[in-house]
Amino acid sequence: MSRDDDLVATTESGPVRGRVRSQESGARSIAFLGVPFAAAPVGELSFAAPQPAEAWTQVRDALHPGATPLRRRVDGTRIPEPAVPGDQTLNVNVFTPDVAGSAPVLVWIHGGGFVSGSPSSPWYDGRAFNRDGVVTVSVSYRLGCEGFGAVGSEAGPGPQVSNLGVLDQLAALQWVRRNIAAFGGDPRRVTIAGQSAGATGVLGLLSMPEAQSLFARAIAISPTLVDISLDVARERTRRVAEEGGVAPTVEGLRGLGPDRLLAAQDAIERGAKGLKVLRGALAGRIWGPVVDGEVVERGALAALRDGVGATKPLLIGAARDEVGTLADRLPEWTNRLPVSWLMRAVVKDSAARQGYLRANRRLVPEGGSILLAKFVTDAVFRRVVPAVADARIASEGAGTWVYGFGWRSPRNGWAHHCLDVPFWFDCLDDPAVTALAGQRPRQELADAMHGAAVSFIRGEDPAWPRWSEEARETRVFGANEIVEDHEGYYDGAMPLVAGLDESD
């Protein structure tokens, strides 16, 4: 096979040309960027389920990132998230060591709170996974109101459209199943993975019966549980339409166009100050998967408890201080007030409040801002991990392995949200990593975390015991490269686990 032949892969829609990149290790990575997995969601296809991409016959260049559902640059995000203009926003980036062969596959779902994020972040470049024999695919999906609104029709009161972002993720996985062999990947060995909102999407797919044939394993990095009720999604969609001056229907919202829709969406997502920051963080996502009884039949946790996804091995975990930096943004007076009063302001249930204070009493002397930031971290992220792991115990299925990320950045002293992503992808040389992890982030930590991910994607069990009723063990990736913390890592969040149910 010639070098030129190496650059071309033939998909069901037509041939695409990628670019060969050489690495210092001598390994090769071929990047195919912006390959459509569905038709452009514009015109009559906006606010509609994804449709097949239009076919082509000539070799199509896949040398530059495709258009993104993210319509603008997002300031202040920790992960570089390029916004690429254009209509063909439903596309994938494929990174492969060779278009021949049958390598395991990682499908990456980006985060961003269901309103931002980009599949084309340089942190999601799969070159390190390619070096280690893994094909990597990053996927796009519609965001915000278009991706997760519940939109009615002129014809009646019921929802005509909901969960388009979920349907996009399903369509991307179906595309991978049908096409990944052309890029040297094995469709029977697909691992879905994501971080933050992407990890929430992973748990949604793991708990969705229709998705089970599309992947073999799952990795959830800092997941939340977002099961928005249909009524809430309808009301938020109505408010966006009202802001835009149109009817809350498919026809009305299509008429807004992307820019006006985004402006209307922004208007209902105003920021807050003081303790309102806490309440906003605890209120959860504005947009996300909707329990509509059709695309998403019920909450993820309830489905997992009933054994959906039990045959899929799961690697799941969270950072020690997911929103620890919140403590640096809270007003100074939070440290002068009694922590019991502050907790009463954000936790109405007395038993939950007292239980949490008992489990985290060592933090009380550190002040209200530290304790409140820890509470938000636990309530939004960390309690999800043991809740999901416990939900899967009864199924006696393929197993759940729990990890924690405890390495604190020298930039701010926190093991915070997104800091772990470049370690998983082993991309510490990216310039944007310095802003989060300092001048010399620990390569041996990246070796350990990336190596654990590669082994799991290849089909191996992690090198620590699975989560069980007898031994709730956690592998903590931290300051000493790897620290085994037997059962204690998530203890502080355990009093909040009971508050998670299928209605959350």
Name the residues annotated as catalytic.
196, 322, 417
Give the DSSP H/E element, type plus range, for residue 96: strand 91-96
In 18-61, beta strands by DSSP E: 19-22, 28-36, 60-61
Given a contact cutoff of 8 angstroms between Cβ atoms, the answer to whether 108 and 136 are in contact is yes
| CA–centroid distance for 490 within its chain | 20
H-helix segments, 34-154: 127-131, 144-148
d(CA 246, CA 266): 16
Given a contact cutoff of 8 angstroms between Cβ atoms, the answer to whether 143 and 198 are in contact is no
Q: Quick one: which of 75, 62, 312 has its CA closest to 192?
A: 312
d(CA 437, CA 407): 10
* CB count in 10 Å sphere of residue 256: 22
Given a contact cutoff of 8 angstroms between Cβ atoms, the answer to whether 377 and 323 are in contact is yes
DSSP state of 466: P
With DSSP H G I counted as helix, E B as strand and the rest as coil, what are the percentages for the chain, rounded to 5?
40, 20, 45
Phi, psi at 144, each rounded to 5°: 60, -145
> CA 163 → CA 114, 142, 193, distances in Å?
11, 9, 19
* CB count in 10 Å sphere of residue 484: 11
d(CA 227, CA 99): 39
The SS3 of residue 93 is strand
Amino acid at 396: E
Given a contact cutoff of 8 angstroms between Cβ atoms, the answer to whether 108 and 199 are in contact is no
d(CA 343, CA 350): 10
What is the bridge-based pairing of β-strands 19-22 and 60-61? unpaired
d(CA 402, CA 277): 30
d(CA 369, CA 331): 8
What is the bridge-based pairing of β-strands 481-485 and 314-319? unpaired
